[in-house]
């Protein structure tokens, strides 16, 4: 069944270009070692029983452009009646470990930053949604290098579509959502224009760390039309790119 659906999706991609954008298709964790499939929006809804994923469901590979919508948090399509929801399982990751996020093929034209946040769940992560609460803290970011290379697509392509970040080594153990995104800037010369592609991954962080951040942002809320880096002409602006959002929290790393 899976192979037939996968073949259909591949054919659909080739004929209709539904795969012209992208999403996180696999999550590989160094410690303890595990490989975890992402949510497959063109396959999973058609499988019975539904696959158990650690990534919250997404409507497809398209972007969110209205930054005032809850869609910008973990992906969604409010206008189409699609709302994301907690995933049924989570992965385990040791504080300080690297996490490798494998994106589907990313279009060369969609340049922009790659940003990663986390949010600590106050209860069972398979049932918890943050809503509009300010619970998110940034743990990694990559924008434009001094020689003009973008995290997406230049650096992502050079790393075989794999983006790697580390869980802060002193982060207190517990359950967390990892919110990872690309913000594509090819149409960001006005608002709305920037395209946000978020994915939310559920993990159990282990370790003896005791550090927690004290400053948080919300989604929606962290980005608006006036946030530096949201309206940006990537074709004519040769200056340094201001990555949207707060400073990265390292937790004493």
pLDDT of residue 253: 61
pLDDT of residue 226: 98
Confidence of residue 20 (pLDDT cuts 50, 70, 90): low
State mean pLDDT over 103-129: 97
Rounded mean pLDDT of 195-219? 98
Residue 132 makes CB contacts below 8 A (sequence gap 6+) with 70, 218, 219, 220, 221
Average pLDDT over residues 65-74: 98
* 109-116: average pLDDT: 98
- Residues 25, 38: contact at Cβ < 8 Å? yes
Phi, psi of 183 (to 5 degrees): -110, 105
- For the chain, the residue count is 253
Q: Note the pLDDT of residue 6.
A: 42
| Burial category of 251 from C-beta neighbours within 10 Å (exposed 0-12, middle 13-18, buried 19 and up) | buried
Edge to edge, the sheet with strand 24-29 lists 34-37, 24-29, 98-103, 162-166
Strand 91-94 and strand 195-206: the pairing is parallel
Q: CA Rg, the chain, in Å?
A: 17
Q: At 11, is the pLDDT very low, low, confident or very high (cuts 50, 70, 90)?
A: very low
Report the DSSP pairing between strands 162-166 and 136-142.
unpaired
Question: Is 163:100 a contact under the CB 8 Å cutoff?
Answer: yes
**Domain definitions of the chain by residue range:** 24-206
What's the CATH number for 24-206?
A: 2.70.50.70
Average pLDDT, the chain: 93
pLDDT one-digit tens code per residue, 152-171:
999 999 999 999 999 999 99
If you average pLDDT over residues 215-233, what whole number do you get? 98
- List, for residues 126-153, the tens digit of each pLDDT value: 999 999 999 999 999 999 999 999 999 9
* Burial class of residue 197 in the structure, from the number of CB atoms within 10 Å of its CB (0-12 exposed, 13-18 middle, 19+ buried): buried
């Amino acid at each position: 069944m899976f192979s037939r659906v996968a073949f259909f999706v591949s054919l659909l991609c080739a004929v209709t270009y539904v795969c012209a954008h992208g999403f996180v298709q696999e999550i590989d964790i160094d410690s303890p070692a595990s490989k975890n499939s992402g949510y497959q929006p063109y396959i999973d809804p058609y499988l019975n029983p539904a696959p158990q994923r650690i990534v919250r469901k997404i409507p497809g590979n398209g972007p969110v452009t209205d930054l005032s919508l809850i869609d910008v948090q973990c992906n969604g399509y409010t206008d189409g009646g699609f709302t994301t929801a907690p995933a049924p399982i989570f992965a385990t990751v040791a504080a300080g470990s690297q996490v490798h996020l494998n994106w589907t093929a990313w279009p060369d034209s969609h340049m922009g930053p790659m940003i990663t946040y986390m949010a600590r769940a106050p209860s069972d992560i398979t049932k918890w949604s943050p809503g509009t609460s300010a619970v998110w803290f940034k743990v990694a970011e990559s924008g434009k290098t001094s020689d003009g290379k973008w995290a997406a697509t230049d650096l992502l392509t050079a790393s075989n579509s794999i983006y790697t970040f580390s869980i802060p080594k002193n982060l207190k153990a517990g359950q967390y959502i990892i919110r990872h995104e690309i913000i594509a800037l090819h149409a960001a010369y006005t608002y709305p224009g920037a395209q946000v592609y978020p994915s939310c991954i559920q993990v159990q962080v282990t370790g003896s760390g005791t550090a927690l951040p004290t400053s948080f942002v919300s989604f929606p809320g962290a980005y608006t039309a006036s946030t530096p880096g949201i309206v940006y002409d990537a074709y004519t602006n040769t200056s340094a790119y201001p990555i949207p959002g707060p400073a990265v929290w390292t937790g004493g790393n």
